[in-house]
Structure 1
Amino acid sequence: MKLSCVIVDDSSIQRILINKLVTNHQNLNLIGEFSNAVETKNFLSYNDVDLVFLDIEMPILNGFDFLDTLKTKPQVIFITSKPEYAVKAFDYEATDYIQKPINAIRFDSAVKRALNKQLLLIEAPIENSEHIFIKSNLKKLKIFTSRIKYIEAYGDYVKVITDDENHLVLSTMKAFENDLPHDKFIRVHKSYIINLNKVDKFNSKFVEIGSVKIPLSRTKKEELQKAMEVIQ
């Protein structure tokens, strides 16, 4: 993962130092560098930025006043020579607060925090999405339906194939089908239920999800066709 970032500092020497650290970091992509907050605000109006390396004491608008003007705030790592601003910085939900002079190890630690925070932001919608509970290997597991690729009949069990792993669940296909959101899943064969959003292609005989070919019952072809048209 790479975070798009900008540097905001009225000191050209500090911008050069931070630029070097950013450029040498594999997870950062520098897309802007500014000497004042006003120019930065204009840039943010037209560009998506994940992370701002922000000085506090600057002319016209200081770092805090600058953040107050933003409706949508990117992550912020404050970089300043004044330790007394630290408490106020975290009132602004800063990802981190680095004191000048900047230490490379301390810088990497702050970036790691930003990366972890960004991952949580990405995963949050998934955490709030539809889910079901299954019992597999005597454990009760929460499975997000958006991660399920397909379900296969397996004797007295059903095999649940997800993006990450497979689970064997003691259940009938009918009972499992009833637990799934009907607008996203369809039973295409007596032994298979598929996630419509995972379908790569299909013909009169098979549905393909990744490299797996799933048999398509002749009576289900029209139903599948209509369902795919709805979600596209």
Structure 2
Amino acid sequence: MKLTCLIIDDEPLARKILEKYVSRISAIELMASFDNAIDASVYITEHNPDIIFLDIRMPEMSGLEMLKIIQHPPEVILTSAYSEYGVESYDYEVFDYLLKPIPFERFMKTITKLIDSITPTHHDEILPIDHITVKDGKKQIQVKLKDIHYIQAYGNYLKIFTKEKQFLSRMKMSVMEALLPMTHFVRIHKSYIVSLLYVEHTGGNEIILKSGKELPLSKYYKRSAKERLG
């Protein structure tokens, strides 16, 4: 199951950035993008998307003015370069308020939070991603989440370990943690994330995988990790 979304922003670059972000998340699907709120409001009434990413300052009709005329709006994530609208946005019961320029990590946290707010029945069917894309030489390779045993920070890169191979991806650990469904993965150390599928048991200060590999379990993450691992 995918959540459908709409992007509404009069700035072409802002729309392009959000379109790129949405394309990286398999749990949401872009229905359309609009450069004005008038046409978008008609589309919303006819097609009923699950989420709208809505700019505030736009000509003819602002994002907040559009929300006043839409009956039963979908989940609204406001996007703006102006922080002064933050307080006013609460009057419209929006899901979140993203301040431009929007880092992907911040965007991903909002989407993850939105998915977590969905009823449990639907939550089991929706994951932020079901794979990650990494470079293998000059090739782009899709690595399925179910194949990942653990992930290790390696300078400005991450090493992604599967049974057969390891991959190198230029990504921050915090971004990877936001991307991964925490129903299947757990952070055990500032430099390690492990898949729950491949954990054999926990020791005092280490996690032992089914392969026999031992990974460090830091004091900071020990309590939350052991609660997840049982």
Q: Give the alignment's TM-score, normalised by structure 1.
A: 0.51
Query: Where does residue 97 of structure 1 map in the other structure?
Result: 97
How far apart, in 2, do the equivalents of 1:121 and 1:96 lie? 23
How far apart, in 1, do the equivalents of 2:89 and 2:15 lie? 20
How far apart, in 1, do the equivalents of 2:6 and 2:18 lie? 10
How far apart, in 2, do the equivalents of 1:70 and 1:8 lie? 14
Could you tell me whether the CA contact under 8 Å between 1:96 and 1:113 is conserved in 2? Answer: no
SS at match of 2:38: helix
Alignment of 1:114-129 (within 5 A): 114-119=114-119
SS at match of 2:5: strand
Instruction: Rate the CA distance shift 1:15–1:121 in 2: closer, same or farther, 3 A.
Output: farther
Gaps of 5+ in 1: 124-232
Could you tell me whether the CA contact under 8 Å between 1:8 and 1:15 is conserved in 2? Answer: yes
| 1:174-230, Cα deviation, whole Å (9 max, x unpaired) | xxxxxxxxxxxxxxxxxxxxxxxxxxxxxxxxxxxxxxxxxxxxxxxxxxxxxxxxx
Alignment of 1:101-112 (within 5 A): 101-112=101-112
Shift of 1:121: 10
Could you tell me whether the CA contact under 8 Å between 1:95 and 1:113 is conserved in 2? Answer: no
| 1:95-127, Cα deviation, whole Å (9 max, x unpaired) | 11111011011000111122123337969xxxx
SS at match of 1:61: coil
Query: Where does residue 17 of structure 2 map in the other structure?
Result: 17
Could you tell me whether the CA contact under 8 Å between 2:4 and 2:31 is conserved in 1? Answer: yes
How far apart, in 2, do the equivalents of 1:8 and 1:32 lie? 9
SS at match of 1:98: strand
Q: Give the alignment's TM-score, normalised by structure 2.
A: 0.51
Alignment of 1:5-154 (within 5 A): 5-119=5-119
Could you tell me whether the CA contact under 8 Å between 1:78 and 1:98 is conserved in 2? Answer: yes
Could you tell me whether the CA contact under 8 Å between 2:75 and 2:95 is conserved in 1? Answer: yes
Shift of 1:44: 1.2
Where does structure 1 differ by over 4 angstroms across 4 or more consecutive aligned residues? Answer: 120-123
Instruction: Rate the CA distance shift 1:120–1:74 in 2: closer, same or farther, 3 A.
Output: farther
Instruction: Rate the CA distance shift 1:30–1:72 in 2: closer, same or farther, 3 A.
Output: same
The code of the aligned residue for 2:44 comes to: L
Cα-Cα RMSD: 1.7
Larger Rg: 1
How far apart, in 1, do the equivalents of 2:105 and 2:30 lie? 19
The code of the aligned residue for 2:112 comes to: K
The code of the aligned residue for 1:91 comes to: D
The code of the aligned residue for 1:87 comes to: V
The code of the aligned residue for 1:12 comes to: P
Structure number with the bigger relative contact order (C-alpha 8 A, sep ≥ 6) is 2
Instruction: Rate the CA distance shift 1:10–1:120 in 2: closer, same or farther, 3 A.
Output: farther
